[in-house]
């Protein structure tokens, strides 16, 4: 604000508001609009909300330093927001200066307290998903598996931003398999984006029933070799295109079709959205210190997905669970298939 000679900044987007207050900013999860706007000046922060949401926000979500102003539930908040050439915002409108990309860059690098909070969220998400997957039976439907996962996540105080489940008939067909009434059969893959107070952990775990074939282990190992190449190329200060290029090369080097990477996005920066944007081979933004990232290479019915933190000392794997079976890939402990 000082650099741009602004009097105030208005935050309106869900991920930015959650970042600002370290809390929940939605009511329905199906709409992009938050239940309040935040006006930040040099010495104050004021939330504009309606009379319905104000009591709960004050009691459970907003830091005590945030002042609250209300409008009637039938009124628009827009009239209470400052506008003009000396007002910035993360969303266009009201003749305000567009600061959207600047705010996104600021929240890309987590502060120390958010790093600690994020590590706990990622660990809890991994344990909750593992607990649910350990209960799955081959006779279950995908929606039964989704029910187990949903229960386990809410028991851990985690909301669901995304839940994908695929049994043996669908793991080879769809990269984003929303659960159906199809039976699990001999394999089930589950992917989650689990959220607490705005921060989101992304991961995938796979359960198999019966003996593992040599080809299945080979294919599973191969997708983690692609992931390993992406991890190795995740370097603070380097562009996001680097890990993508490394992954593209690794696909071809590990038995996948040379265009396998084109069949699904490979992941990207995360934190307050499942992905801020999917990185590609042209992505120029630089990887920041303490930036959450979730890569997710897929192929041959398998997916490697983990939430990591990029640091000057290398990547930190956050979504780990000591009780899940593991194997080693490029010196890192990675989740193996859970056999039932």
Task: Specify the pTM.
Answer: 0.95
Residue 131 confidence (pLDDT) above 90: yes
Whose CA is closest to 193, among 116, 112, 107, 128?
Answer: 128
**CATH number of the domain where residue 195 is located:** 3.90.230.10
Residue 257 confidence (pLDDT) above 90: yes
**CATH number of the domain where residue 85 is located:** 3.40.350.10
Confidence band (pLDDT; 50, 70, 90) for 49?
very high
Give me the mean pLDDT over the 249-264 stretch: 96
Residues in the chain: 340
In a domain, residue 272? The reply is: yes
Q: Do 24 and 173 lie in a common domain?
A: no
Tens of pLDDT, residues 220-247: 999 999 999 999 999 999 999 999 999 9
E strand residue ranges, the chain:
8-13, 33-40, 45-50, 67-71, 87-89, 97-98, 159-167, 187-196, 199-208, 267-269, 291-295, 298-299, 302-303, 306-311, 314-317, 326-329, 332-335, 338-339
Q: How far apart are CA 142 and CA 138, in angstroms?
A: 10
What contacts 21, CB < 8 A, 6 or more positions away? 38, 61, 62, 63, 66
Supply the DSSP string of 186-215, one letter for each residue. Answer: TEEEEEEEEEETTEEEEEEEEEE-SPPPHH
Q: Do 218 and 98 lie in a common domain?
A: no
Residue 93 confidence (pLDDT) above 90: no
In a domain, residue 1? The reply is: no
**Domain boundary pick from 50, 84, 108:** 108
Q: How far apart are CA 122 and CA 63, in angstroms?
A: 23
Q: Do 307 and 283 lie in a common domain?
A: yes
Report pLDDT for 46: 98
Contact 9, 40 (CB under 8 A): yes
Give residue 89's domain range: 8-108
Hey, which residues does 239 pair with through a beta bridge? Answer: 286
In a domain, residue 2? The reply is: no
Q: Do 188 and 315 lie in a common domain?
A: yes
Q: Do 87 and 143 lie in a common domain?
A: no
Give me the mean pLDDT over the 129-146 stretch: 98
Tens of pLDDT, residues 275-303: 999 999 999 999 999 999 999 999 999 99
Q: Report the percent of the chain where pLDDT is more than 70.
A: 100
Q: Report the percent of the chain where pLDDT is more than 90.
A: 97
In a domain, residue 67? The reply is: yes
Report pLDDT for 158: 98
Confidence band (pLDDT; 50, 70, 90) for 94?
confident
Residue 262 confidence (pLDDT) above 90: yes
Task: Supply 48's token pair.
Answer: 């504009």
Report pLDDT for 30: 80
Q: Do 264 and 323 lie in a common domain?
A: yes
Q: Do 99 and 116 lie in a common domain?
A: no
Our count of domains for the chain comes to 2
Q: Do 82 and 143 lie in a common domain?
A: no
Report pLDDT for 92: 85
Residue 268 confidence (pLDDT) above 90: yes
Report pLDDT for 69: 98
Q: Do 61 and 15 lie in a common domain?
A: yes
**Domain boundary pick from 55, 88, 108:** 108
In a domain, residue 3? The reply is: no
**Domain boundary pick from 108, 133, 153:** 108
Q: Are strands 87-89 and 8-13 parallel, antiparallel or unpaired?
A: parallel
Report the chain's mean pLDDT, rounded to a whole number.
97
What contacts 59, CB < 8 A, 6 or more positions away? none
Q: Do 257 and 299 lie in a common domain?
A: yes
Contact 340, 209 (CB under 8 A): yes
Give me the mean pLDDT over the 38-43 stretch: 97
Q: How far apart are CA 157 and CA 149, in angstroms?
A: 12
In a domain, residue 300? The reply is: yes
In a domain, residue 288? The reply is: yes
Q: Do 178 and 295 lie in a common domain?
A: yes
Q: Do 90 and 117 lie in a common domain?
A: no
In a domain, residue 159? The reply is: yes
Q: Is 264 exposed, middle or buried (0-12, 13-18, 19+ CB in 10 A)?
A: middle
């Amino acid at each position: 604000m000082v650099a741009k000679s602004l009097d105030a900044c208005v935050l309106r987007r869900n991920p930015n508001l959650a970042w600002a207050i370290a809390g929940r900013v939605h009511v329905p999860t199906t709409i992009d609009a938050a239940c309040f706007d935040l006006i930040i000046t040099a010495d104050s922060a004021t939330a504009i909300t309606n009379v319905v949401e104000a009591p709960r926000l004050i009691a459970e979500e907003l830091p005590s330093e945030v002042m609250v102003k209300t409008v009637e539930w039938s009124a628009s908040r827009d009239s209470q927001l400052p506008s003009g050439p000396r007002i910035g915002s993360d969303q266009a409108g009201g003749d305000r200066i567009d600061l959207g990309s600047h705010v996104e860059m600021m929240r890309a690098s987590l502060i120390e307290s958010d790093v600690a909070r994020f590590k706990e969220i990622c660990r809890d998400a991994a344990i909750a998903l593992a607990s649910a997957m350990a209960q799955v039976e081959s006779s279950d439907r995908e929606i039964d598996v989704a029910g187990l996962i949903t229960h386990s996540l809410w028991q851990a105080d985690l909301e669901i931003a995304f839940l994908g489940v695929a049994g043996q008939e669908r793991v080879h067909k769809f990269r984003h398999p929303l659960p159906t009434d199809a039976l699990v059969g001999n394999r089930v893959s589950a992917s989650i984006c689990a959220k607490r107070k705005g921060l989101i952990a992304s991961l995938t775990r796979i359960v198999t029933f019966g003996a593992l074939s040599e080809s299945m282990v080979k294919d599973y190992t191969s997708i983690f070799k692609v992931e390993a190449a992406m991890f190795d190329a995740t370097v603070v200060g380097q562009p996001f295109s680097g890990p993508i290029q490394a992954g593209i090369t690794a696909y071809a080097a590990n038995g996948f079709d040379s265009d396998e990477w084109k069949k699904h996005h490979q992941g990207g920066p995360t934190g307050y959205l499942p992905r801020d944007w999917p990185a590609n081979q042209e992505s120029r933004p630089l990887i920041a210190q303490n930036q959450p990232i979730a890569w997710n290479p897929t192929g041959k019915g398998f997916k490697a997905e983990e939430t990591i933190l990029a640091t000057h000392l290398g990547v930190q794997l956050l979504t780990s669970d000591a009780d899940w079976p593991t194997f080693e890939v490029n010196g890192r402990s990675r989740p193996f298939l859970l056999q039932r």
